[in-house]
Structure 1
Amino acid sequence: MRPTFLAVLFAAAAGGYPNGSRVPNGNAGEPGTGVPCSSCHNVTLNPAGGRVTLSVAADATFMPGAMQRWTVSITDPNSSFRRGFQLTATAGAFAATAGTVVTGAAGSKQYVNHTASSSSYAVDWIAPTDAGTVTVYVAAAAAGGTRQTNVYTASVTLTRASARPVIRPSGVIHAAHFRPEISPGAWVTVFGSGFAPAGTSRTWSAADVADGKLPVALDGTKVRINGRPAAIAYMSETQLNVQAPDDDSLGVVAVEVETPAGVSDPAYVELRKAAPGFFRYSPENHRYVAAVHADGTLAGPAGLFGGEAVLRPAQPGETLLLFGTGFGPTQPAVAAGTSFSGAMPLAAGHGLSIRIGGVPADVPFAGLAGPGLYQFNLVVPDLPDGEHSVEAEVFGASVPSTQFLSVKR
């Protein structure tokens, strides 16, 4: 008789755990295989006080081609019993994680087995691209070195997430002033649905940056502006933050979102040489420009964020840091979608003018401080107490005068 699942899974007390690759396949509790281990063991199936659970995506859906991390948790009333599991799915592929091994060739049915006793295991699964539903079967066993064994089974059915991503009407906007106009290198926000699995979000990480190039795909999600790939900094089910690629074109251009489920219908936005905008605080409908004092304290009305952050108004004569995007080329030039070090001043002929309360401000430095992020070292003019509009022009383009700076002597 060939070794059964438990015979391999739980070695005799004098032995240890064998490599999980030796666990016979077909013992995950899937249909047609019978009760796991019952041919050679005294199995108590799903006894009270114990269970195996499989935690998958919150809405039990999958994006075709995307990876999911599941958790297998095993509970048994006998704390001294060794534990292990076997898991399979009707479609997709697995990748080994710590404490597990995958058996079965890619493209055929695969199994995941334990390699050491634990009450919790992580399982990485790569969703198929051609299935509408996938059922996952898992069997766990707890034993103390005898033939008497507790076996627990469970199954979960996953369904394919909604088909293609959708960009909502007027869903492509400038990330700072929220109007439907962008420029090369500017940060852009895309709103819609189906951009990522429900309940998930993430930003790029250092691991996503290769040879100084920012990622143009996160977990299979991509954005194209006028047919060119855009770097992606943030993704969620309903929002993407991307950097517009370099492009000499001007006028209305198409924006598309691609995921493993398909490509969205195009949305359209105005592409300009420069589309400047200052970043703003969120409270009070983005009324106040985001600014920082020389000591790192945020500049703005006290209490704007309640007790979450300390702010104080600007003072005439002090130097503030303002931030924006879409202010045009620099010298030396920095290609969109690349990382760099140092500060890159605006290119000659920029014609930058910033006014606070209608009064021109001295700007000792204006240029890129990070990918698509412009910094302005600005001396606050001699102004009375109150809220003053912040306006700017650069390369012939204007910043909408819809943000304010709080000043107090």
Structure 2
Amino acid sequence: MASTSLVPKASTWTPPASSPTTPASAAARRINLSPAFITTSSWSSARGEVSLYLNGRLVASRNPTDLGVMAAALNPDQLVRLFLDDDNEWAPARIALFRVYAGPLSATEIRDIYAAPFTSTIGLPKPGFQSSGIVNSASYSAANAITPGGFFSIFGSDLGDDFGDWGQSFVNNIAPRRLNNVRVLVNDQEAFIAFTSSSQINAIAPDNLPDGPVNVVVEYSTLRSTTVATQSRRINPAVFRYTPENSRYLAATANDGSAYIGPPNLFGTNGFLSGLALRPARPGEYVVLYGTGLGPTTPPVPAGQIPPPRTGGYPLSNSSEIRLTLNGQTTSVVPAYSGLSGFPGLHQLVFLVPDISNGDYETVLVVNGT
């Protein structure tokens, strides 16, 4: 079970500044490849290195100006993968796979490569994962991993090449169904993709899924995984932790946004996390927990959609059936708020911390008996 840390009341904290905006990803670079040379359209501004792979094996990682020497020894029809890193912490790595030509590329071939330089799948294995690799994104449990409108994660291999999230990909406040050329189907319905990498996908399940077995497929470009079965359940509550794999502390904030809730040295940062205070909760204050899979809301919000502003928010339809306990002591939830946050697939649970002694408290959330 997870714990919430509590200490006596203290002074009011100053509200945080606005969250920083994540810079947009760097533009993809165009690559023209032949057995004798590699040229690019914009290497003059590149700050990073390029790694050259032959048939999946790393050959060298050098400054772009040295790649011509490496390319001279290539043979026609050899598969070549380029890994481009712009040395920018916000920019996802770029990967391209091309077949070596016997001579210079024709104008048509160059145009084709320029139009889609990072979508070739020649020689790549199809995405692979198992039922045990489909889990609830908050609990990391494979039991009833999928909930309509809730977050789930897929762990496997060759799930895609680009590392990145959906930050710049919302259209009309709706999350992307295809991200970094990756698509996930649940019972042939498109999920909403939040994050992709070669080994992990985070997504929001579509609406209208049955309770019971469902089938999951991952598509990367033209590659399609085998169909993998898992379980879906209409309500399967889970609360996010600071580190899902092993942390005993729930991810929580003060209701006024002034602090993260947890032991001050949880991350070795001496009471701060991302510029905010990191401290135990205080009796008499409202604390926010973050979860997924808590069930539908009234009024309903379609899966993958940012909820439009609304007085009173989007409370859970079954909010009267929620119970939260700290070491067995029931605390009030209904008078506060339990429902969607301002983010797709993410629920909030706002509760009043009871007047109890300092310490770590086992926290249990029950929704509709689950």
Alignment TM-score, normalising by the size of structure 2: 0.66
The within-5 A match list for 1:249-398 is: 249-282=210-243, 285-293=246-254, 294-307=256-269, 309=273, 310-342=277-309, 343-348=313-318, 350-363=320-333, 364-369=336-341, 370-397=343-370
Superposed CA deviations along residues 136-195 of structure 1, whole A, max 9, x for unmatched, are xxxxxxxxxxxxxxxxxxxxxxxx33x111014500000111112221011001000101
- How far is 1:251 from its partner? 0.4
Q: Which runs of 5+ in 2 are unaligned?
A: 1-31, 38-47, 57-62, 68-75, 81-104
Q: 1:211 to 1:392 in 2, by over 3 A?
A: same
Q: 1:388 to 1:267 in 2, by over 3 A?
A: same
Alignment TM-score, normalising by the size of structure 1: 0.60
SS in 1 for 2:117: strand
The within-5 A match list for 1:6-405 is: 56=50, 59=53, 73=65, 106=108, 108=109, 125-128=117-120, 131=122, 160-161=123-124, 163-180=125-142, 181=144, 182-197=146-161, 200-206=162-168, 208-282=169-243, 285-293=246-254, 294-307=256-269, 309=273, 310-342=277-309, 343-348=313-318, 350-363=320-333, 364-369=336-341, 370-397=343-370
Give the match for residue 78 of structure 1: none
SS in 2 for 1:354: strand
Contact kept in structure 2, 1:352 and 1:395, CA below 8 Å = yes
- How far is 1:127 from its partner? 4.9
Q: 1:295 to 1:348 in 2, by over 3 A?
A: closer
Give every structure 1 segment of 4 or more consecutive aligned residues whose post-TM-superposition deviation is greater than 6 Å: 89-92
Higher relative contact order (CA 8 A, sep 6+): 2
- How far is 1:211 from its partner? 2.6
Amino acid at match of 1:354: L
SS in 1 for 2:175: coil
SS in 1 for 2:299: coil
RMSD, aligned α-carbons = 3.4
Amino acid at match of 2:339: G
| Partner Cα separation in structure 2 for residue 61 and residue 210 of structure 1 | 37
SS in 2 for 1:215: coil
| Partner Cα separation in structure 1 for residue 320 and residue 219 of structure 2 | 35
| Partner Cα separation in structure 2 for residue 218 and residue 318 of structure 1 | 40
SS in 2 for 1:285: coil
Please identify which structure carries the higher strand content.
1
- How far is 1:221 from its partner? 1.0
Contact kept in structure 1, 2:211 and 2:233, CA below 8 Å = yes
Taking only the aligned residue pairs, the percentage that are identical comes to 31
